[in-house]
Amino acid sequence: MKNTNTAILELSNIGIRLPSGADREWAVRGVSFSILPQQTLCLVGESGSGKSVIAQAIMGLLPAALPLKEGKIDLLGKITPEQRSPEFNLLRSVKMGMIFQDAVASLNPIKRVGYQLEEILLVHGVSRKERKPRVLKMLRDVLLPNPESSYNSYPHEMSGGQAQRIVIAGALLLNPALLIADEPTTALDVTTQAEILELITKLKSKFDTSVLFITHDFGVVSDIADQIAVMKDGEIVEQGSAQDILQKPQHEYTQKLLKAAILDASKEKLEDTEEILKADAISLTYKKGFLFNQREFKAVQQVSLSLKAGSTLAVVGESGSGKSSLAKCLLRLENINEGRIFYRGKDMTNQKGVLLKEFRSKVQVVLQDPFGALDPRFKIIDAIAEGPIIHGSSREKANLGALEMLSLVGLTPQSAERYPQEFSGGQRQRICIARALIMRPEILIADEAVSALDVSIQVKILDLFEGLQKRLGFAMIFITHDLRVAAAISDSVIVMKGGKVVESGPTPSVFKNPQAPYTKMLLASAPGSGVGEVK
């Protein structure tokens, strides 16, 4: 029986240096916290806040470029050995286990799962006879439906959620005192995320383990945390018990993060306008392979939707639901196999030539990855002015328009002469929005346009979308997996699963009174039901 008052892990005044030439001197500095037995401490922060560096330091995995210069880390009352030393190897897995964001990538792709789990026991001297039964028992403990077949599987044969269960099994195999989880559910769909969070909570008491949980999502925090520490730019800005911080956040930054986690579907109602885009039972089937190796994949099946001028339609679904394929159909980037697409009452389904070009200039798109979407050899002004020039505008006129768009999306005119590499993700997304809007589109399709951004940036970009929509009057189709984003921005919503629409309607009624079982499950799985009450 462990003494309930001594901390499992104690960090005192940790300082980790960044290499010279980085945007700040310290990756983290002055970080202190401790974790008591059976407690879950959530380390919350956005990208670049230094939260993952702390996890690496505790695991002794800091790269040589990031030296631990100040402070000490005590594990079970003892100072931990030097980073990356062989002594640390003996500690890992026995005293601490770690799980990662991308579970499939953290498993060796060409070895069977069973081998990789048994290896942990092997290197810690467990006899051959004991290994397999222990691994199988652990696979049952992480609630894999079929332990024996999982044991014989390769990582790529598993879903993200199953792979995360495997990695959790590996981390807890030697019954460590501390489990470190670095954004373990960020890459998962909401329903899977809910299952994994439940599993971690369950195993925590079963194995008598403390948890250090790293995340950017206050929704997740509110579901599992006992203690919370909020990080910004390498420092802890606020820490305390979960109750205190969720109910009475003191620091402005904490308040902002909390607000972003609330699912709020109370957007003001829009007056009725004319229909601008309509899809009538459209289907898209992909054909793959060659000769003897052909397969079909039905990406979109019988989807109908209607978009009113100046309104926003959210398309919500988990990965593989066909929502991005639907966007490609609407942009006429894929030729649909069935159904019709109408733009202002005109049939665009098989339109070619001038009319298609005109349609394309009226429908613009903003994509998820702001890093891949801009050509690194184009100056910002050239990237934005390219569209109008292609459609016949003079360079001077296009450049003027581009400058105007830059100020509209909140960037300075000086940005015009710079290259994409010099901008952050949020700024690049603003540039992409400017590039789309300079065409004066009537419809803007945003495909997961804020998913790659930190929550506080996300809020700003969503505000930008809304403000610009009010000013310029375009309609939006907003494709997202994030229910909070959909609730915040849309007037109506369609929920997709397996290429089909399972529910559609005005946003407030779908979110407050969902009809389809799948929508109900999505909403129930969305993390942070506890956060809403703080409002």
Partner 1 sequence: MTGFILSKLFRAFITLLLTVSLVFIFIRFSGDPAAAMAPPDAPQEVIDQYAEKLGLDKPLWVQYTNYLGQIFRGDFGYSVDSGRSSVSLFLDRLPATLYLGGLSLLIALTVGITLGTVAALNRGNVLDRSVMAFSVFAFAMPNFLFGLAVILIGALGFQTYLGGQGATLSWIGVLPPALTLGLASTGSYARFSRSSLLETINKPFVLAAEARGISRTRRLVFHAMPNAAIPLVTLIGLSLGGLIAGSVVTEQVFAWPGVGQLLVRSVATRDIATVQFIVLAIAATMVFANLLVDFLYLIIDPRIRAQ
Q: Which residues bind partner 1 (CB under 8 A)?
A: 59, 61, 86, 89-94, 97-98, 100, 102, 105-111, 116, 119-120, 123-124, 154, 156-157, 167, 170-171, 289-293
Shortest Å distance, C-beta 525 to partner 1: 26
3 state DSSP class of 429 = helix
Quick one: 292 or 396, whose CB is closer to partner 1?
292
Contact yes or no for 204/33 (Cβ under 8 A): no
In 10 A of CB 189, how many CB atoms?
20
Shortest Å distance, C-beta 91 to partner 1: 8
Shortest Å distance, C-beta 348 to partner 1: 36
Shortest Å distance, C-beta 110 to partner 1: 6
Look up tokens 């589109």; give the residue. 441
Quick one: 1 or 291, whose CB is closer to partner 1?
291
Give the type of residue at 453.
L
Angle at 219 between CA 217 and CA 220, to 5 degrees: 75
Quick one: 22 or 90, whose CB is closer to partner 1?
90
Shortest Å distance, C-beta 301 to partner 1: 24
Quick one: 91 or 327, whose CB is closer to partner 1?
91
Look at residues 144, 143, 160 and name the one whose alpha carbon lies nearest to residue 152: 144
Quick one: 106 or 364, whose CB is closer to partner 1?
106
Shortest Å distance, C-beta 62 to partner 1: 11
d(C-alpha 179, C-alpha 173), whole Å: 11
Quick one: 110 or 354, whose CB is closer to partner 1?
110
Query: How far is residue 173 CA from its own chain's centroid?
Result: 28
Compute the CA torsion angle 27, 33, 37, 43 (nearest 10 deg). -50
Quick one: 98 or 230, whose CB is closer to partner 1?
98
End-to-end CA distance of the chain: 41
Quick one: 87 or 417, whose CB is closer to partner 1?
87
3-state secondary structure 258-309: HHHCCCCCCCCCCCCCCEEEEEEEEEEEEEECCHHHCEEEEEEEEEEEEEEC
- The CA distances from residue 210 to 37, 199, 202, 228, in Å, are 5, 14, 12, 14
Quick one: 62 or 501, whose CB is closer to partner 1?
62
Shortest Å distance, C-beta 106 to partner 1: 4
Quick one: 4 or 293, whose CB is closer to partner 1?
293
Shortest Å distance, C-beta 139 to partner 1: 16
Contacts of 424 (CB under 8 A, 6+ apart): none
Shortest Å distance, C-beta 280 to partner 1: 35
Q: In 3-state terms, the chain is what percent helix, strand and coil (to 5)?
A: 40, 25, 35
- The CA distances from residue 468 to 164, 310, 409, 410, 510, in Å, are 40, 11, 8, 11, 25
Shortest Å distance, C-beta 98 to partner 1: 4
List 286's β-bridge partners, or say none. 297
Shortest Å distance, C-beta 64 to partner 1: 11
Contacts of 339 (CB under 8 A, 6+ apart): 279, 280, 281, 282, 283, 302, 303, 304, 349
Quick one: 86 or 376, whose CB is closer to partner 1?
86
**DSSP code, position 271:** P
H or E element at residue 26: strand 26-35
3 state DSSP class of 452 = coil
d(C-alpha 102, C-alpha 185), whole Å: 9
